[in-house]
Structures are given as structure tokens and as C-alpha cells.
Amino acid sequence: MMRMGDVGRKVRFGVIGLGKRGMWHLSELVQMKDVEIAAVCDPWPDRVDQAVRIVEDACGFRPDAATDDREVTGRNDIEGVFIFSNWESHIRIALDAIRSGIRPALEVGGANSVEECWELVRTSEISGVPVMLLENCCYCREEMTLLNMIRHGVFGELVHVQGGYQHDLRDEIGNGDVTRHYRQRHFLHRNAELYPTHELGPIARYLSINRGNRMVSLVSVASKAAGLHAWFTEHRADSALAGAPVHEGDIVNTIITCANGETILLTHDCTLPRPYSRGGRIQGTRGIWMEDTRTIYLDGISPADPSYWDHRWESDEKYMAEYKHPLWKEYEEYGLRGGHGGADYLVIRAYIESVQNQTQPPIDVYDTAAWMSVTALSEHSIAMGGLNVPVPDFTGGRWITDRKKAEGMYSLD
Amino acid sequence: MMRMGDVGRKVRFGVIGLGKRGMWHLSELVQMKDVEIAAVCDPWPDRVDQAVRIVEDACGFRPDAATDDREVTGRNDIEGVFIFSNWESHIRIALDAIRSGIRPALEVGGANSVEECWELVRTSEISGVPVMLLENCCYCREEMTLLNMIRHGVFGELVHVQGGYQHDLRDEIGNGDVTRHYRQRHFLHRNAELYPTHELGPIARYLSINRGNRMVSLVSVASKAAGLHAWFTEHRADSALAGAPVHEGDIVNTIITCANGETILLTHDCTLPRPYSRGGRIQGTRGIWMEDTRTIYLDGISPADPSYWDHRWESDEKYMAEYKHPLWKEYEEYGLRGGHGGADYLVIRAYIESVQNQTQPPIDVYDTAAWMSVTALSEHSIAMGGLNVPVPDFTGGRWITDRKKAEGMYSLD
């Protein structure tokens, strides 16, 4: 088994989507000795030029440049492609890649429809080309520690888990150029749990979703959309945004029910003032953990009086240290690198090493489809006035039987 | 207008329900010079005997003793009756009282059915006898301060509010005598938002429910019921409870949509280990407050960098001091008394003074019906697999027009 920092077989990749996030990833990729960036692509030539320079400066050669993503996914000399483009194109580009035998890695985002999630699954199954979703939060230190705690039974039988994408994006949305901003148009035109995977990805692993459990239904309810309008009126009075109708409710709560009876609460909260939080909460028959307070309460361990009126929270600090995930122990010895507290590096390496070693990626096509589909399903639920809608079983029943666990050091199983 | 501590016209009351909560209230009532307890009632004679002694010791006379509540609600010499009995009897006893021209005050609990809420409203309307729900949390210092902040526009336009009854009751439920324990049988037999009003009462006032706004629909989703079974197995292995089926899901989340587009999230969380919290959260276009962290963030006031990536929470302490409610300022000068941080006294006095002065109580029959109905409606929603169900307009359209505001110092308007 490879150790962190080992240089593997050199693999050629394409990179599609060179906005802020794509450029950030590219700057990390060019530093990896076993990665060769064969082509870079974005509809905007200024971005492509900049990306070519980044690769040339770091690696000493000019990658091919494209403004049409099909020029990259149509190649026969690359093994993988990174898809960092706008949300609505992730699955379409991934499908093009799979059909060329290229393994796609998708940056996160929600699906446009449930149908495209099915198409992703079917096309991957028929071709045998694996897909990976680059959900960095699955590799965050805190989330991996919690996964480890859950595997050790610290919380007993899990009953309820919640999380959110709670990030005041008013300034970012309000400053974005309509034609070049991947988020803005979704907030103006859709009403859905637009961005579920940062919290749902880790939660799905806590609850063994697609590995003995699955999401069976969900209901979403959206509040009114008041935040962006108020902000545009105050801060962008001279722009077209000031009068733009906003469809996305400020707070979208989604409750998912799982086959084993657990519930998941997701909160999308991006257009009202607030500090950032993913609002994590884990509850089982033996304890509870809360992200916002960084506290834990464990039955029979944390302080309580016998009448159960005086349970007291503990700081989660010592538990976080005690249950640090083995991958993170190794990572800290090796040295953290890259963005988002080091998690970006881990998820990117998990994908690269699955390509190098021709193994199944730890976040596979069934996870990708199930997690991304929540956006489209929540859109249905809201449109139908808060109807509880079924979540498809993208595994075709394989969630019940023991699916083959992901191999390698980056396995989340 | 009366000032706090003023002794008003002496009024005769009955007291029905002498469990732990009823006895607690009785001990406070007998200290009030303008209150005469004419009768005490409970199905259990041992409790009645104890209550008679409490009144006799404090007031120097023996109240009438009854084991059938109809002996109290059938009297023609009392003006009001306190209903502290088990949850399922509150509305039935209130109806008996109204029909005798006696003003009932109901301790909190959820409704058995939507129909009985309608019956309460219609009977009160036809007879002209007002009803009050004794929701003490509406009078808590924190909730009244927040109400005052909202009225001053601190949070801008309200968009989303949440709260919960999050209280580990496993020991209380597990220790209770089945025949005498008002909570236990509800957890064994029902699956619903059993106890919504502690958080919903204050939230309803924040959102002007029944006064220009109303709840239009709700959806409830329950997790599996694992907590009580695990606890009974470990702690009550020799009792019948160890094998008892439990219907109440450990976590019941309910999302309510209001006519003006706000959403309310309620969480019932009573059978898993955790410290107590009502989990309050208030969000508007200008700010957010969170109970669990005791923090606030206000747009343009709290610290933030211009990129909106570094909003920082502030302690809510100074805002809580600045916006203290006028009633609480007066109360602190007068001196706090009674249970639950002084809130019990306020809600009881609010009722008593509405009887003395023949005025509308601040929490009226429409509030009582709407808040209590959430239990029955959530039960429907869960039973139908997470169906979004309509919330009746118990006001018959009066919520749109300007309803007469409650008079007196205890008004929550």
C-alpha cells in the first residue's frame, strides 16, 4: 500500500473549468510529480491563457489549451479529467469523459435532474469507468475524526444527524458577473437545497449510506426569499440585481429519512447575514455532538446528576484528539498542504491514486448520484409544496448486500 | 393599570390536577392574597388530601375536595379554574368549565385531535368565556427580551425561527408509574411533536401569528425510536417497560410554513442523552441569534471583513441587557418569585388579572388552539409518511384584520 507522499505512476489528466476554484486546484496539481496536465479548458480564453502559464511555469511545458470541453473529453491520451466547471455542466462533462474511457472527478455541486444522475450511474456501469465526487469535507479532520468515533460506537446506535451549508454568500453573489458566476444564476432561478454535499457527504459515510443503509425519502421546505433582495437594494442599487426576482428561499430545510430509520436534517442558509458554519450535530443512543458549541455529551461519561436535569456539556477537544483518524495521523506527520485545512489535498490524492492503481474510488458513482440528486429532489419537494419524495436506489439493491469496500489509504469505509 | 404586586379583586378559583406540577402551582397560588382556592381536585385521593392541607396551612380554611373534575367545573361559585391534569384531559375539562361560565387556564400540552381544538374555539366564541394557555416560556426573560429586540427591528425582516423541546426524559419516563404518569403513555403510544408550545409559543409571538400572520402548513418527520428501548433494557430490565414497544420517534422535526413566508423548525428530542436546550435560533435580513452558543451576529454591527468570509459571532450578553423587556424591568424591581426562573409567576398572574379585570387574556383561545393543534397535525403528517398538512385558521380570518390587542401589563403584543 502506498504511503502518503509516495510518488506513483505518472498519469496524464485534463482540467476543465478554470474559475477561482479550478485555478486553485490547478496550482496544487502542477506541484505533484506523478501528475501531468495534458490539457486545460475553459470557455473564457483569458482564463485558459492564465492556466497554460501556470502549468508552463511549474512544469516546463505548455499543455494543450481548449475553450470547448469536448476537446478534452474526446482525447485518447489522458486517463482522468478534473471537472471544476459550473454546477450545471458537471454531469454532462463527466458523461462525455466516461464515454471516452476517461475517469472523471467532479467538483461538488447539485444535480439538474434525477434523470442525469441515473444516466451517470448507467453509463459508468456499462462502460466500467469509475466516477469520483471530490467532496473535500469527507476528508476534513473533524469529519474523519467523527467517522472514527462513530465506527468505535462512541454515540451508540445512530438516530439523527444534521448539518448545513450556512455561509453568507450575499456579497459573492452580488458581486458576481452574471455570465461567469456559477452560483448566482442558481439563486436567481432555482428554489432547492442547492449545495448539499459538504454536509451530506460526511453524514452519508457516518450512516453507511449505500453500504447497508440508504436514503429512502426526503422533504424540503423553503422560507421566503428576502435576504438577497434586501442586500441588493442596499448594496447594488444601481445594478440590474436590485430588481431581480430571487427564487431561492433564504433558508431551505430538508429532512431525509433512511432505510434504517435514521433522519438527516440539512440546512441551506446562504443569503442572510451569519458567520460560517456547517452546523453539525450527531445523535445516537449513547451521546450527542454539536459543532457550533464544540461540545459533546456521552451517557454515563459526561457529568450528570441522577435526575437527568443537570446533564452538562463537555468540550469535544479531548475526544477529537483521542479519536483522530489514522489517515490524519499520517497526514500530520507528512505535513498538511493545500486548501480547506488540508482536505482538498486528500480528496484530490484519493482520486489520483485510484486512477494510478486502477481501483474503485472511495466516493463512487453511487455516492455521487445519490448525494447530487438531493438538489433535484429537494427542488421537486419544494415545488410540490413540501411533498415527501422518494430518493432513488441508484445501487440497484446493492446497498443491502455487502458492497466491495474501497481499497487504499483513502478508503472511507 | 395595575402594577406588579398590586392586590386586585379577590377571585375564587378551582384547581384540577394535583401531580407534581399542579402541587407546585398550588403552593404559589395559596400565597396570593387576591386568590381564593375554593376547590381542589385529582382522581387520586392521596393527592387531594395533600392539596387540602396545603391550602388549609396557608389560608386557614379547607377547600372543597373532589376526585371528579366535573364537581369543580360544575360549580357556580368560582370564576376561574386551573387545569394542571394530564395532557389528554386539558381541552375536555376546559370545555366543561366554559359551559359553566368559568374561565379555564390550561397548563401546556398537545392536543389529541384538531377537532377538539375547533370545539374549544367555537365553545369559547359562542359563550363569550375566554380561555388562556399557561405557556410560561412566553414570559421567560430571554424570550421576552428577544420579542422586544424583534419589535425594535434588530433582526430586520424575520425569515426563519427555530426552537425545540430537547430534554432527556428517559429517567423520568422510565421511573413513572404507568397509571399516574402523564408523559409516559404518550411516548409509548403516539408518534408526534408531543410538546410543541414551550418553543412555539414565544416563536408565534415573534412572528405575530394570529395577529397579521398565521401558520398555513406543517410537515413532521420522525426518526426511529431507539433511545427509550436501549435505556429500558439497560436500566429497567426487570420491568414491563423493557419489552414495551415505543412509538414516539427519538427526534421529531417539524417545519411550519407561515402565511408571510417565514419557516419555523421545531425539534422534539426527549429520549436520547443530551443536556437540556430549547435550541432557539432567530434569523432575519439583518441578523441571527443562537441560543446554544448565546451568540448574535448583526449585519454591519458585528465584526466582519468585507469579503464576508470572516463574520464573527458576538456574545448576546450586551444586547440582552439593552433590550430587556419593560415587564421584566418592573419584575426585577418587584422581585422574582416562583418556578422556572420567575416565568411561572408571570403567566399565572397574567391569567389571574385577566379574570379579575374581565379582560381578554394575552394568550387567547386562538393561540391555544393553534399551538396545541400542532401535536395532532404532526401526528397526521408522520402517519401519512411526512405529508405536508394544512394548519387550520382557527381565527376565521381575523388574523388578517387587526385583532384587538390584549390589555394590561402582561400583554405580549
Predicted confidence at residue B402, as pLDDT, reads 67
CA gyration radius, chain A: 21
Calculate how close chain A gets to B347, using CA atoms only, in Å. Answer: 23
Burial class from Cβ neighbours inside 10 Å (0-12, 13-18, 19+) for residue B33 reads: exposed
In 3D space, the residue among A77, A24, A34 whose CA is nearest the CA of residue A54 turns out to be: A24
Which residue in B159, B171, B386 is closest to A227 by CB distance? Answer: B159
CA angle A193, B197, B152 (to 5 degrees): 75
Contacts of B298 (CB under 8 A, 6+ apart): A273, B154, B155, B286, B287, B314
Chain A nearest-CA distance from B105, in A, is: 27
Are B292 and A287 inside 8 Å of each other by CB? no
Say what the pLDDT of residue B307 is: 60
- CATH for the B137-327+365-400 domain, from 3.40.190.10, 3.30.360.10, 3.40.50.10190, 3.40.50.2300: 3.30.360.10
Report DSSP state, residue B87: G
Residue B155 makes CB contacts below 8 A (sequence gap 6+) with B149, B282, B283, B284, B285, B286, B287, B288, B289, B298
The yes-or-no verdict on residue B403 having pLDDT over 80 is no
Q: Which of B365, B186, B195 is nearest to B267 (CA)?
A: B195
Beta carbons of B307 and A171 less than 8 Å apart: yes
Among chain A residues, CA nearest to B155: A273
Using an 8 Å Cβ cutoff, are A138 and A352 in contact?
no
**Chain A positions in Cβ-Cβ contact with residue B265 (cut-off 8 Å):** 253
Strand ranges for A125-284 from DSSP E: 132-133, 158-166, 215-222, 251-258, 263-269, 281-284
For residue A351, give every residue at least 6 positions away whose Cβ sits within 8 Å of its Cβ, in sequence order, or none: A80, A105, A132, A134, A361
Q: Are B189 and B26 in contact (CB under 8 A)?
A: no
Q: What are the φ/ψ torsions at residue B394 (nearest 5 degrees)?
A: -70, -15
Residue B309: pLDDT band by 50, 70, 90 thresholds? Answer: low
Residue A267 to chain B, least CA–CA distance (Å)? 11
Q: Where are the domains of chain A?
A: 11-135, 137-327+365-400
Q: What is the DSSP annotation of B119-187?
A: HHHHHHHHHT---EE--GGGGSHHHHHHHHHHHTTTT-SEEEEEEEEE---HHHHHHS-TTT-TTHHHH
Return the pLDDT at A402.
67
Put simply, the answer to whether A274 touches B288 (Cβ < 8 Å) is yes
Three-class secondary structure of residue A203 per DSSP: helix
CA B151 to chain centre: 21
Q: Average pLDDT for residues B260-266, to the nearest whole number? A: 98
Residue of A nearest to B286 (CA): A273
- Cβ proximity of A374 and A254 under 8 Å: yes
Minimal Cα–Cα distance from B232 to chain A, Å? Answer: 12
- Does the global pTM surpass 0.90? yes
CB contacts, 8 Å: B308 with chain A: 168-172
Contact yes or no for A263 and B222 at CB 8 A? yes
Name the superfamily (CATH) of residues A11-135. NAD(P)-binding Rossmann-like Domain (3.40.50.720)
Q: Classify the C-alpha dihedral B104-B107-B109-B112 as positive or negative.
A: negative
How far is Cα B378 from Cα B11, in angstroms, rounded to an integer?
Answer: 38
Q: Which of A257, A299, A387 to mutate to test the interface with B (most CBs of B within 10 A)?
A: A299
| Other residues' Cβ atoms within 10 Å of the Cβ of residue A44 | 13
Closest Cβ–Cβ partner in A255, A273, A284 for B287: A273
Cα-to-chain-centroid distance, residue A103 = 18
Mutate to test the interface with A, among B232, B274, B293, B382 (most CBs of A within 10 A): B274
What is the model's pLDDT at position A2?
73
| DSSP structural state of residue A277 | B
Measured between CA atoms, how close is A226 to chain B, in angstroms?
A: 7
What's the rounded mean pLDDT across residues B123-135?
Answer: 98
**Which stretches of chain A score pLDDT less than 70?**
1, 176-180, 306-309, 402
Stated as kind and residue range, the H or E segment containing B275 is none
pLDDT of residue A10: 97
Contact A288 B311 (CB under 8 A): no
Query: Residue written as cell 473535500?
Result: A136
Q: Which of A154, A158, A145, A150 is nearest to A301 (CA)?
A: A154
Name the band, by pLDDT with cuts 50, 70 and 90, for residue B1.
low
Write down the residue that cell numbers 479548458 correspond to: A41
Least CB–CB distance from B261: residue in A224, A260, A293? A224
Degrees to nearest 5, angle at CA A407 with A401 and A412: 75
pLDDT at position A177 is 61
Listed in sequence order, the DSSP H helices in A283-322 are: 317-322
- Dihedral angle at the C-alpha atoms of A107, A109, A110, A115, nearest 10 degrees? -20
Q: What is the mean pLDDT of residues B295-312?
A: 84
B270 to chain A, closest Cα gap in Å? 11
B288-297: average pLDDT: 98
Cα separation of B348 and B83, whole Å?
12
What's residue A413's pLDDT?
Answer: 83
Of B156, B226, B275, the CB nearest to A297: B275
Q: What share of chain B is helix, strand, coil (3-state, %, to 5)?
A: 40, 20, 45
Sheet with strand A11-16: strands edge to edge: A64-66, A35-41, A11-16, A80-83, A103-106, A132-133
Q: Work out how many CB contacts closer than 8 A connect A with B.
A: 172
Residue whose C-alpha cell is 479519536: A323
Closest CA to B213 of B23, B404, B70, B400: B400
Q: Take residue B327 and report the three cell numbers written for it.
A: 415587564
Give the pLDDT confidence score for residue A338 in this predicted structure. Answer: 87
